[in-house]
Amino acid sequence: MTKRMISSVERCRKGYVLLLSSFLQGRVASQADLLQTREHRPTPEVARLLGEANVAYAVHGAAEALEIYLQVVRHDQYIAQAWSSLASCYDELGKGEAARQMRFFAAHVDRDGEKWASLAGEFK
């Protein structure tokens, strides 16, 4: 197993332990409690690339930023912001299906119920 896989398994295990202990104590785990168990921090290189992509998007537009965001997700596929930004780029370039798929990946990484609910309408 890679270091990243072990880290992911450990976060999942911590989340399940938190839910179980909360249940046994007669309380419901808050969303903030659960978010702490699955926080993902990008490496400095990925953070730098993400910053470059954001600047490229703001200064030069979607077409130039697209390639840099793709580099970000190639390096680290657990960066929800990169997937969401890719969706915005594809929307601006008129590629609706690709944008929808990027929003799907963002919701999967982010595990946000509201994003899933809005996506349900798009995939009908």
In order along its 124 residues, the chain shows pLDDT tens digits of: 555 555 554 555 555 444 444 444 555 545 555 554 456 788 899 999 999 999 999 999 999 999 999 999 999 988 889 999 999 999 999 999 999 889 888 888 877 677 777 777 776 6
**Exposed e or buried b per residue across 92-103, where buried means at least 16 C-beta atoms within 10 angstroms of its C-beta:** eeebeebbeebb
pLDDT at 41: 84
61 phi, psi to nearest 5 deg: 105, 180
Q: Which two tokens stand for residue 60?
A: 């030069």
Q: What is the pLDDT of residue 37?
A: 46
Q: How far apart are CA 28 and CA 81, in angstroms?
A: 28
> What local confidence, expressed as pLDDT, does residue 63 receive?
92
- Would you put residue 94 in left (φ > 0), alpha (ψ -120 to 50) or beta? left
How far apart CA 91 and CA 119 sit, in angstroms, is 15
**Residue ranges of domains in the chain:** 3-37, 44-122
Q: What is the pLDDT of residue 20?
A: 44
DSSP characters over 80-122? HHHHHHHHHHHHHTT-HHHHHHHHHHHHHHHT-HHHHHHHHHH
What pLDDT does 19 receive? 45
Q: Which fold has domain 44-122?
A: 1.25.40
Residue listed under structure tokens 């921090």:
41
Hey, what are 19's tokens? 């839910």
